[in-house]
Amino acid sequence: MGEHLVKKLPAFLNTPARVVIVVGLIILMGEFLIMLLIESIHTTVPEVGFLGNVAWKFVDPIMLAVFVAPALYFLIFRAMNQQAELERQIDELRHFQKLTIGRELRMKELAEENAALRNQIAAAQQKETKP
């Protein structure tokens, strides 16, 4: 079921407002879980003094970055990269279509020109055979 939701996520994230909401929720939930973890660890570990307080000040942002970075990559940046790849492929297909349609139009023009020249040759031959 979780895989199904992940596949639907890029469709959900199709507007900037929704992306901001999802990023905000990821950071909010990450920070909430980290604060619960820090509070439970901080109450069980004895104080070391000034260094202990400074160390705890750095633990929160480091853990937040470790928790949020993979979530942002898998939910947003990977989908954006896939979208960019699809757009590149579409541009390539449009270029190919432009080239092939141009070639087809040129072939049609040449076929019409060939038919006109054959008609001229046939008319000229008919004039030569009639004295």
C-beta of residue 68 within 8 angstroms of C-beta of residue 26: yes
More confident residue, 35 or 11: 35
**pLDDT tens-digit series, residues 47-97:** 666 556 677 778 888 888 888 888 888 777 887 888 889 999 999 999 988
Of 62, 78, 77, 6, which is closest to residue 30 (Cα–Cα)? 62
Domains contained in the chain, number: 1
pLDDT exceeds cutoff 90 at 102: no
What integer pLDDT is reported at residue 50 of this predicted model? Answer: 59
Give the C-alpha separation, 18 to 16, whole Å: 5
Q: Which domain holds residue 63?
A: 2-129
Token pair, residue 29, equals 């939930």
Q: What is the pTM of this model?
A: 0.50
**pLDDT tens-digit series, residues 107-123:** 889 999 999 999 999 88
Of 6, 27, 127, which is closest to residue 78 (Cα–Cα)? 6
Residue by residue, what is the 3-state secondary structure of 8-59? HHHHHCCCHHHHHHHHHHHHHHHHHHHHHHHHHHHHHCCCCCHHHHHHHHHH
* Per-position b or e across 70-104, b if 16+ CB within 10 A of its CB: ebbeebbeebeeeeeeeeeeeeeeeeeeeeeeeee
